[in-house]
Chain A
Amino acid sequence: MGVPVSTHATHSARGGADGDHRFGRARDVLWRYTAEGVVLLPLKASEPFVLEGAGAALWEVLREPQTVQAAAKRLSQRFSVPPEEVLSTVPAVLTELADRGAVTDLGGGT
């Protein structure tokens, strides 16, 4: 089993995308919801990994492609935390998920 990923535990070396960047679920990824979150297996990955807690909520938010800002806003509402706090971590998580092949970086703008 891969390393669990959550929005509070993950940091990207690249620091993440800006607020106008849009991200969506990659097409070539297998996944299942579980009581612990969501298990993901991008087809090119070596093994599955688990998104827990806010990470799993982020996956749910990405049911439709979202800008980083919109995703952060929805998570802040869901977990009742200030948007700026979420916005400080979401870009890095999205970038890491894109690196792992689970989400697709759709670029800037709308």
Chain B
Amino acid sequence: MVTRVAAAVAATGLPGAVNRVTEADIARVTWPALRHVVRAHGLLGILLAGCDAGLIPLTDEQREEVAHSHTESMARILLLERLLLDVVHLLRDADVPVRVLKGSAVAHLDYPTPSMRPFSDIDLLVRGDDFEKAEDALRSAGFVRPQPPVRRLVDRRFSKGATFVAPDGSEVDLHRTLATGPFGVRIRLDELWASWDKYDLAGSTLEALSAEGRILHTAYHAMLGGGPPRLIVLRDLAEMLLYGEYDDDTLREMCRSWRAESVFAAAVRETWQVLDLADVTAVSAWAEHYHPAPDEDRLVEQQRRGLGSYAAASWVTVRSLPRWRDRVALATALAVPSREFLESRGTGVTEHIVRGLRRALRGGS
């Protein structure tokens, strides 16, 4: 029940939003429970904007509480954006081109005001060939990588990316591509880098994915993240599709080229269903009538539930690579990982090989 009310908060102000939050809703689910869920789903800014627009009936006390929490959240976000600028400049100085992904870019490019969209970490896209150079630059600035690479080759050609931790404890996710497993393998990285949008942050110009790239990334994030998406991610997709300046033909072509139709259609259906949007758009109508092949549907469901352990996810990626020589390269790297990687997991080389052989005998499951 509380999640349903939170979903109505998430849909506030969108055209065709059927459900409105009432005083009775808030009383029924209790204010502390709703406040907790709204915060967890990143909806404080939308709750506040809805209240100030007369769409959500908060008491003065509730509004004051939300306003204070929102101000604190924005202060933390400014500190993250300063870190973002530091990292972008660090990487540019190291001749590593970057694109800003998710949080900051979506807040500035896809919402009427960035105050509506909180985020909790920094996500950047770098090219696989630049991954090691980027890592060296981050390490030289005091960042650590808690999970060492399986092999450099995996960072460069196969993995989704890696997390780095700044000296102040903030996390920076360096991405090579936008998703793990089969859907990540299908993404045409040349197309992803070919066009971009820009936004200004404290006198610096930052580059983000194009509008169409952001839409597909949000769809991947919503559907392939392992478990139900946060409501703010569905709101992101609704904002982009209802108000964004994207090119429909380009979006369709990217979908086709990346074989992402099943993920995108599922994400749009989920957004319209959870946010309960009555308005039908060309995209929502397409998504409603799109019927993926059964194995595609299964892939989305499988990845939505999560691919399991790192090893399990890696073997799924091996099987989804189209070229045999890539399969062999990744399988070899996974079978004989770097010593640094094994030490980080408290495993010896011999033990790892024995486990790998057992897994291989079971068919890579």
Contact = CB atoms under 8 A, between A and B. Distances in A.
A81 interface: no
Using C-beta atoms within 8 Å of the partner chain, give the interface range for chain A: 10 to 19
Interface in A84-102: none
Contact of B202 (A30, A36, A50): A30
B62 interface: no
A30 to B, nearest CB: 5
A35 interface: yes
Interface in A15-52: 27-37, 39-41, 43, 47-48, 50
B102 to A, nearest CB: 17
Contact of A48 (B52, B79, B85, B202): B79
Given A34-B71, A36-B68, A50-B71, A43 B202 contact: yes
Given A29-B202, A30-B202, A36 B82 contact: no
A28 B78 CA distance: 12
Contact of B48 (A29, A32, A35, A39): A35
A43 B74 contact: no
B77 interface: yes
A1 interface: yes
A31 to B, nearest CB: 7
Given A28-B203, A30-B81, A1 B72 contact: yes
Contacts of A27: 202-203
B214 interface: no
B166 interface: no
B306 to A, nearest CB: 34
Contact of A32 (B63, B66, B78, B82): B78
A48 B78 contact: yes
Contacts of A34: 48, 67, 70-71, 74, 115
Contacts of B79: 41, 47-48
B202 A28 contact: yes
Contacts of B81: 30, 41
Contacts of B244: none
B201 interface: yes
Contacts of B113: 33
B75 interface: yes
A30 B82 CA distance: 8
A32 B74 contact: yes
B71 A41 contact: no
Contact of A1 (B48, B75, B201, B203): B75
B229 to A, nearest CB: 24
A6 B230 CA distance: 36
Contacts of A47: 75, 79
Given A33-B113, A34-B67, A39 B78 contact: yes
A32 B202 contact: no
Given A27-B202, A28-B203, A50-B71, A35 B78 contact: no
Q: Which of A28, A37, A43 has the most CB of B within 10 A?
A: A43
Given A43-B85, A43-B202, A31 B67 contact: no
Interface of B: 48, 52, 63, 66-68, 70-72, 74-75, 77-79, 81-82, 85, 113-115, 201-203
25 contacts: A1-B71, A27-B202, A27-B203, A28-B202, A28-B203, A30-B201, A32-B74, A32-B77, A32-B78, A33-B113, A34-B67, A34-B70, A34-B74, A35-B52, A35-B67, A35-B70, A36-B70, A39-B74, A41-B78, A41-B79, A41-B82, A47-B75, A47-B79, A48-B79, A50-B75
Closest 7 CB pairs of A and B: A27-B203, A35-B67, A41-B78, A48-B75, A32-B74, A34-B71, A30-B78
